[in-house]
Structure 1
Amino acid sequence: MDLISEIIARAKSNLQRIVLPEGTEERTLKAADQILADKVANLIILGNSVEIKKLAAEWELMNIDKAIIIDPENHPKKEEYAQLLFELRKKKGMTIEEARKLVLDPLYLGCLIVKNGDADGQLAGARNTTGNVLRPALQIIKTVPGITCVSGAMLLISKNTQYGENGVLVMGDVAVTPVPDAEQLAQIAVSTARTAKAVAGIEDPKVAMLSFSTKGSAKHENVDKVVEAFRLAKEMDPTLKIDGELQADAALVPSIGASKAPGSEIAGHANVLIVPNLEVGNIGYKIAQRLGNVDAIGPILQGIARPVNDLSRGCSIDDVYKMVAITANQAIASKNAQ
């Protein structure tokens, strides 16, 4: 069974309630229909029920009636969610009138549904920017205890099974924090290792803090930052298997790892790669994707207290389907960690 099939199977075995705030968006609704048909997750779709049912009929979607449809303009819990938002944000100056307006926004409403325990995760972004998806998540759901830096991980699936975990690697951060400092980079390392377990099914994450230097082969303040991040990550999670700084070849290739970093249990065996900044992550995974025929799935947002994921506005129906299953896997892991 390939990794995506495993992720879907785990979601099916423990159904989670996933909110889709962009309920009238075509790719989202078509993916939702297939998710419901395959029983991958229980869905809460936000939008006008008449419009959603009209679109479902137009696109011949036969399973949408299996979802819970909530109209942000008119539903029984509207005032309850407004009061919740007001309580969460009143110290920041929000009034109850402002809260009542914001709960009409599906992205805010979805996060409130999750925060209130009425759903387990949210997926949006087919119509909205990353900033719009993240803002309510950070205001309402907030971050995992001990984590202040939200980041994005990418699943890299290669046909070269000698690398990573039978060809599977998880890379972070590829989506959120442009130039992390040492503390943020340490948090990204810890979060990405958790994602490797929760989503990629990697039971034994081996984390490489990547650099253009291996164990002091170059001197530079950027190298110093990676070395400091490695130290801080070990303080955050003493059980974490991690090493750095390592060049990419030293992290991935056993013979090179043994030569450049003798005695390291990570060098040559890494299955989690932490890049020093967003520029490297974005360029790196896209080169692997285009030149190395690596399947890149994500980004998967991490560091938020309950799973909230962001789609690309250029996503496909299949992307939405996979990300619902991934969000469900994160929700399962989050519950197990409590």
Structure 2
Amino acid sequence: MPNDFFTGIIERAKKTPKRVCLPESASADVVALAQRIDAEGLGTPVLIGNEGEVKALAASAGVPEFAFQCFDNADEAAVESLVDEYLSRFDNFSRKACARRAKDPLLCSMLLLKLGRVDCVAAGKECPTGDVIQAAMGIVGLAEGVRSPSSLGIADIPGFDGPEGTMLGLADCAITAQPTAEELAGIAIASADTASSLLGWEPRVALLAFSTKGSARHESIDVIREAVERVHELRPDIKCDGELQFDAAIIPAVAAHKVKEASEVAGRANVLIFPNLHAGNIGVKMVQIFGHANAYGPVLQGFAAPVCDFSRSAPVQEMLGNVAMLVIRAAAADTAKAAASARDGE
């Protein structure tokens, strides 16, 4: 992660420190990450596991002493207290099922997140992405209007001159293979919210296709048009348009030629939504290889509370950048909840 982007993200995250849950406390890299979270002032690391074992691992790995909290999910009293609190607020698990989940570190972290005992969860160093997604889906659930989890990649493309300078948001490039119209709409909504909360952009979301505004006909294009309509219904505050070809989405002169009706997005899009994972995977790699772009993320999104997934090969510095982005999103989620609560109280 280049220094300028990394430094900016870290500085923003420091302003709103959060409780960051790290379930993989048996990993020396994760313990080193916890130390960096504390040292950088990003918040309080909350590790799932035994405090003594964490300290012993830190000492053996040469990690300096640092402030942290532990939730020991092998402690019967701690687990019982967690289960009691969960069952007092939610009824989707039996006592036995909830206790069983609390004994698994990854699932335990999601229970803590659901209860608000932590603000966000960062995992994936030792477990597959699919496990992180399944755990979040099964316990935390999805945000309103979202039908599937997805990811947003952030590309910094040398020579590109768009609404955000050289940067573009790209989704979904990692999770949902063949989204339905409802899923595609959810990806667009989640991507807009991520771009707004993480990057401070006013999102202009373009749903991409091989057609622009009816220039071609195909059943796959109908899915995209339906998705755009769905976004407009669910979130009229989001500037969203489609279907748009790639050039019509980002080049003003092409948009002026191809898009006849008024559009707040065409030619000025800063978030691009691919129609499926084939296009997303190919597209982001072409941008990286031929456009020499730096790519950040992908940022896991769409859940009711912030969750991030590390690459299992990620070094500690990269993981720290992911956590900083997660902390910023958690702060934005808190702000949104407070605003909603104030509206409800009026």
- Measured against the shorter chain, the TM-score band is over 0.9
Query: Identity rate of aligned residues, in percent?
Result: 36
Contact 1:213 1:245 in 2 (8 A): yes
Contact 1:185 1:229 in 2 (8 A): yes
Q: Structure 1, residues 14-58: CA drift from partner, whole Å, max 9, x if none?
A: 111110111122322222222211112221012233332222112
Paired amino acid for 2:164: E
Residue of structure 2 in register with 1:215 after alignment: 213
Aligned pairs (5 A) from 1:235-254: 235-254=233-252
Residue of structure 1 in register with 2:39 after alignment: 37
Residue of structure 1 in register with 2:285 after alignment: 286
Q: Structure 1, residues 95-126: CA drift from partner, whole Å, max 9, x if none?
A: 42333222111111111111121110001011
Residue of structure 2 in register with 1:261 after alignment: 259
Q: Structure 1, residues 231-260: CA drift from partner, whole Å, max 9, x if none?
A: 111111112111111111111122222222
Q: TM-score, normalised by structure 2?
A: 0.90
Q: Does 1:52 align with 2:54?
A: yes
Residue of structure 1 in register with 2:343 after alignment: none
Contact 2:204 2:271 in 1 (8 A): yes
Q: Does 1:83 align with 2:84?
A: yes
Contact 1:155 1:169 in 2 (8 A): yes
Q: Structure 1, residues 190-249: CA drift from partner, whole Å, max 9, x if none?
A: 1100000111221x1111110111122221111111111111111111121111111111
Give the 3 Å change call, closer, same or farther, for CA 231–52 of structure 1 in structure 2. same
Structure 1 stretches of 5 or more lacking a match?
Answer: none
Q: Compare 23-32 and 294-303 and name the one that shifted more.
A: 23-32
1:136 shift after superposition: 2.4
Give the 3 Å change call, closer, same or farther, for CA 75–43 of structure 1 in structure 2. farther
Query: Partners in 2 of 1:88 and 1:171 — Cα distance?
Result: 37
1:185 shift after superposition: 0.7
**RMSD (Å) for aligned C-alpha atoms:** 2.0
Paired amino acid for 1:50: G
Contact 2:158 2:291 in 1 (8 A): no
Residue of structure 2 in register with 1:129 after alignment: 128
Paired amino acid for 1:270: A
1:296 shift after superposition: 1.4
Give the 3 Å change call, closer, same or farther, for CA 75–41 of structure 1 in structure 2. farther
Query: Partners in 1 of 2:120 and 2:152 — Cα distance?
Result: 17
**Structure 1 segments of 4+ aligned residues over 3 angstroms from their partners:** 1-4, 83-91
Contact 1:89 1:139 in 2 (8 A): no
Contact 2:146 2:185 in 1 (8 A): no
Q: Does 1:98 align with 2:97?
A: yes
Structure 2 stretches of 5 or more lacking a match?
Answer: 338-346
Residue of structure 2 in register with 1:17 after alignment: 19
Q: Compare 127-136 and 259-268 and name the one that shifted more.
A: 259-268
Give the 3 Å change call, closer, same or farther, for CA 302–255 of structure 1 in structure 2. same
Contact 2:172 2:276 in 1 (8 A): yes
